Amino acid sequence: MFRRRNYTTTTPAPGPTPAASRPEIIAITLNELETVERVLLHADERKRLRRPDLGPSGHTTRLLAALYQRAGAASVVQPSRQLARIPFYASDFLWLELAIEDIELYGGRPVIARDGRHLLNRFNALLGQARAITHMGGTPVFDPDTALPGPTTDS
């Protein structure tokens, strides 16, 4: 009356499993961090003035808090202000890009938008220069024994 079908299941061939993807992290200077802060805060201010109906968003505050926490850890690892490098995740590029768009959309200062674009272009160029990181109390820092990536544009 009822026939059972014999389904055969195939198992995947044993092989290498894909490695967990590591986050892409670049090294930024303290001067670049100050520029990032200026761009983010200006965009936040312009959006608040032009669109009060949106209400406050804590994205800028949270990102800046994380960046300054990393900067503090970087200053412990490398006390020299000129040599200190702050880890900046590629996923944070989006916030900088959105801030530039907000400055342009809500009538911000073009000079700050241009500085933000210049920084974003530099950060994208740095993505190919990976460095080893370690963690200090959960905060990522660059290993002080590894070489700094390429020449910097800071003076």
CA dist., res. 119 & res. 114, Å (int): 9
Q: Which two tokens stand for residue 90?
A: 């590629």
pLDDT in single tens digits along all 155 residues of the chain: 566 666 665 555 555 444 455 668 888 999 999 999 999 999 999 988 888 777 677 788 899 999 999 888 888 877 777 878 888 888 889 999 999 999 999 988 999 999 999 999 999 888 877 666 777 777 777 766 665 555 554 44
Query: Cα–Cα–Cα angle for 69, 73, 78, nearest 5°?
Result: 140
Query: Cα–Cα distance between 121 and 86 in angstroms, integer?
Result: 17
Domain boundaries, the chain: 25-142
Closest to 88 (Cα-Cα) out of 37, 20, 144:
37
pLDDT of residue 17: 46
